Amino acid sequence: MASLRKISMDTIKISSVTAADILQLQSIGSKTFVETFADQNTADDMQSYLDNNLSFDKLTDELSNPNSEFYFATLDNIVIGYLKINYGPAQTELKEKSSLEIERIYVLQEFHGKNVGQVLYNKAIEIAKQRNAGYVWLGVWEKNPRAIHFYKKNGFVEFDKHIFKLGNDEQTDTMMRLQLL
């Protein structure tokens, strides 16, 4: 499917996730989360997160929220990553009308460094601009230097910290923002 070099951004397709896609969303969400964080967390904490945050019922609730949106990134009709954005009251913290939260950008490990995350990020920024958001914000685990570098490269700056609970483990996320207006 993909070689070791970057994939042309034009070949990565972005599509809205619908209720009919819940099982596929659950599958890509679980797989990418485990690939990204399993080696730095206990199996129990990982399973607790998956059970509580990526369950069929939880994803169904999130997908039905009018202030949240999910998008798949596909290559050759295969889902290789996804994006979740929130605005207004669906945001996990700030909940400001003038902001948009990127809650999740996850890409299958074999596609890291091949433009997939950038295409999903670009979709989030496009939506933020369409909604006239003054800024975009997110939280990224302080022990995820790859993601922190990605967001800094795209103009985000750190502005705070918050606690992210993974199972029984309280972890520190770096909060970052990108001013748009």
Looking at the annotation, which residues are catalytic?
151
Instruction: Tally Cβ neighbours within 10 Å of residue 176.
Output: 22
- Pairing label, strands 99-107, 135-141: parallel
Give the whole-angstrom CA distance, residue 109 versus residue 36. Answer: 8
Report the largest interatomic distance among the alpha carbons of the chain, rounded to a whole angstrom: 43
Full DSSP string of 99-167: EEEEEEEEE-GGGTTTTHHHHHHHHHHHHHHHTT-SEEEEEEETT-HHHHHHHHHTT-EEEEEEEEEET
Which residue type sits at 181? L
| Residues 71 and 120 sit within 8 Å (Cβ to Cβ) | yes
